[in-house]
């Protein structure tokens, strides 16, 4: 996945810093269900990892515990307590599956986070998925509407398959820290 371009999410970071990312998988859940930390603003934007696994944690307060396990990222300072990016996986899948608009940019936010997370897994994304997600990211960055991107239900299904592949790749190369 190293060829998938990283597009700016609208907020520029002039120096390398840690940001807290919240995730929601269950559409019936309110707010974040788990979190990770990302180093942003440098040449190597990446999530917090340990032993080749992306670290996630169940409560914001566990960010400091997770950070101890990644000495390189720990040098960037304390774990932030406020969510800067929210990756609403449930909503992104719903939008890709059946909606014509994404006024809040939920799908693009997830694609940008998935890019860093899948890259950190060091798993090879199938070329067809990489191509689809790269094109989708480019079109959404240009502010194209979902109705203009998805010319057929088949295309929606292929993008949904690509996103599900990303979720699976991240899950098998993840470690969850809970209390």
Q: Where are the domains of the chain?
A: 17-174
The conformation of residue 7, written as its DSSP 8-state character, comes to P
pLDDT one-digit tens code per residue, 20-57: 999 999 999 999 999 999 999 877 789 999 999 999 99
Tokens of residue 29, six digits = 């859940």
Band (pLDDT 50/70/90 cuts) for residue 4 is: low
Band (pLDDT 50/70/90 cuts) for residue 10 is: very low
The conformation of residue 105, written as its DSSP 8-state character, comes to -
Q: Strand (E) positions, the chain? A: 17-24, 34-40, 46-47, 49-50, 53-57, 83-88, 174-177
Scan for tokens 């890709």, then name that residue.
96
pLDDT one-digit tens code per residue, 114-172: 999 999 999 999 999 999 999 999 999 999 999 999 999 999 999 999 999 999 999 99
* Beta-ladder partners of 147: none
**DSSP-derived pairing of the beta strands 34-40 and 17-24:** antiparallel
């Amino acid at each position: 996945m190293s060829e998938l371009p990283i597009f700016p999410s609208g907020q520029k970071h002039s120096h390398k810093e840690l940001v807290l990312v919240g995730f929601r998988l269950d559409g019936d859940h309110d707010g974040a269900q788990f979190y990770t930390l990302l180093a942003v603003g440098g040449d190597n934007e990446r999530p917090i990892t340990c032993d080749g696994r992306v670290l996630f944690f169940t409560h914001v307060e566990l960010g400091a515990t997770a950070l101890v396990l990644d000495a390189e990222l720990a040098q960037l300072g304390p774990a932030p307590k406020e969510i800067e990016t929210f990756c609403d996986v449930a909503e992104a899948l719903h939008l890709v599956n059946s909606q014509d608009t994404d006024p809040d940019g939920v799908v693009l936010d997830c694609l940008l986070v998935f890019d860093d997370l899948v890259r950190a897994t060091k798993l090879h994304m199938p070329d067809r998925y990489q191509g689809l997600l790269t094109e989708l990211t480019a079109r959404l960055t240009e502010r194209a509407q979902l109705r203009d991107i998805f010319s057929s239900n088949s295309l929606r299904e292929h993008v949904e398959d690509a996103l599900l592949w990303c979720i699976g790749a991240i899950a098998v190369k993840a470690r969850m820290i809970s209390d």
